[in-house]
Amino acid sequence: MSYPSGRHFLQIPGPTNVPERVLRAMSRPTIDHRGLEFAKLALEILEGLKEVFRTSGQIVIFPASGSGAWEAALVNTLSPGDTVLMFETGQFATLWQEMAGKLALDVRFVPGDWRHGVDPDALETVLREDRGHQIKAVGVVHNETSTGIASRMREIRKAMDRAGHPALLMVDSISSLGSMEYEHDEWGVDVTIAGSQKGLMLPPGLSFNAISDKALAANKTARLARSYWDWQAMMTPNRSGFFPYTPATNLLYGLQESLAMLRAEGLENVFARHARHGEATRLAVRAWGLEVLALNPAEYSASSTAVLVPQGINADEVRKIILENFNMALGNGLNKVAGKVFRIGHLGDFNDLMLAGTLSGVEMGLELAGVPHQTGGVQAALEYLTQVAQEARAHAAFQHA
Ligand code: PLP
């Protein structure tokens, strides 16, 4: 492509499009992070985040990518040799368990086919068999960004309760927070792991732990070595709005703005918008005669969709053609599904017309790349989006009548 005019379509499942409002907020001059103006900002954000995580408990913010918050969750609650139970739902679950192994934890990694989320029944069985309560923590990736599959958190919580097992529940909500329903308190999550670059609509660089009282209690006896990630070192200065080291001040300006945006739209509306875009995308994929990686409709992700390409086609070649011709980046297949899928991110600051543009780029790319398919995917998505809009108008008219 010669000069790529117009806006680049960043349709990977995170980092997501950063809205102008957030970019502008971040362009303000950096201030003294030991001054009162900063403390006011930090206190407001730490409080505001609670609405998004749906917790009344503690939240900490690390200047780090999401992986930092994975590590923080583990080192703050566990001791060397502790057993953790994780499930192979995809690439991010695989990376997290690798990290746990490197931290001298004893990982039980239940194999998976990358086409399903965590099976609540399998979880219950493993926990019931663990009569001596060797398993200290269960780690679940809520939304597997690598597969577009969301584990059923309510059922997972119930399975743990049925088994009567005391393990901590740690949940990676990196690509679900701020885009799909997430309930830290109600689901009895002990540590939630999140990052800035997806539903929170910020650039990468901030990560989060939301922490239950049970996790705080575990923290008192946890013996894994920790320094940078130490919750206590973070929480003590946080009480007055300060950090133990230099915070990412300008990202925090952005976060203040993105929290205001989420509040203005209303979380329920944010979730409904993502669900609508997930459904419209899957309708397009089906109309193309292609398949999504997720096999269980109860586990469809609202924030990203992995599309299988027919055998003999390299999904990365399709992505390359779409990037070169239409200036749109799609997510690549990772690890076991490398070359077999491309991923469409439909999360963050996104609307119906952006999705229409995204799906148009994919449909044209399928044609250019010689992928056997039927046309009409975009049309199927547009019809669905129109129908939802019509229903919303009818509903609004009824409310005002
Ligand atoms: N977990 C999930 C579900 C992710 O999607 C990602 C990154 O995309 C990570 C963990 C790792 O986060 P990061 O790359 O920000 O360290």
Residue 280 in domain: yes
* pLDDT over 60 at 318, yes or no: yes
Could you tell me the residue range of the domain that residue 208 belongs to?
20-263
Task: Give the Å distance between the CA of 14 and the centre of ligand 1.
Answer: 9
Nearest protein CA to atom 13 of ligand 1, as residue: 66
Looking at the structure, tell me whether residues 245 and 320 fall in a common domain.
no
Q: What is the pLDDT of residue 28?
A: 98
Cβ of 365 below 6 Å from ligand 1: no
pLDDT tens readout for residues 233-282:
999 999 999 999 999 999 999 999 999 999 999 999 999 999 999 999 99
* pLDDT over 70 at 201, yes or no: yes
Q: Is 86 exposed, middle or buried (0-12, 13-18, 19+ CB in 10 A)?
A: buried
Q: Select from 238, 263, 288 the last residue of a domain.
A: 263
Q: Which atom of ligand 1 is nearest to the CA of 145?
A: 5
Task: Give the Å distance between the CA of 19 and the centre of ligand 1.
Answer: 20
Task: Give the Å distance between the CA of 32 and the centre of ligand 1.
Answer: 30
Cβ of 19 below 6 Å from ligand 1: no
Q: Is 351 exposed, middle or buried (0-12, 13-18, 19+ CB in 10 A)?
A: exposed
β-pair type (135-141, 83-87): parallel
Q: Integer distance in angstroms from the first to the last C-alpha of the chain?
A: 52
pTM: 0.98
When divided into structural domains, the chain yields a total of: 2
Looking at the structure, tell me whether residues 305 and 242 fall in a common domain.
no
Q: Select from 212, 232, 263 the last residue of a domain.
A: 263
Q: Using 50, 70 and 90 to split pLDDT, how confident is the model at 2? A: confident
Task: Give the Å distance between the CA of 243 and the centre of ligand 1.
Answer: 24
Looking at the structure, tell me whether residues 313 and 251 fall in a common domain.
no
Looking at the structure, tell me whether residues 225 and 279 fall in a common domain.
no
Neighbours of 53 (CB within 10 A): 23
d(CA 387, CA 381): 10
Looking at the structure, tell me whether residues 333 and 215 fall in a common domain.
no
Looking at the structure, tell me whether residues 106 and 69 fall in a common domain.
yes
Q: What is the pLDDT of residue 176?
A: 98
Q: Using 50, 70 and 90 to split pLDDT, how confident is the model at 1? A: low
Cβ of 92 below 6 Å from ligand 1: yes
Task: Give the Å distance between the CA of 386 and the centre of ligand 1.
Answer: 33
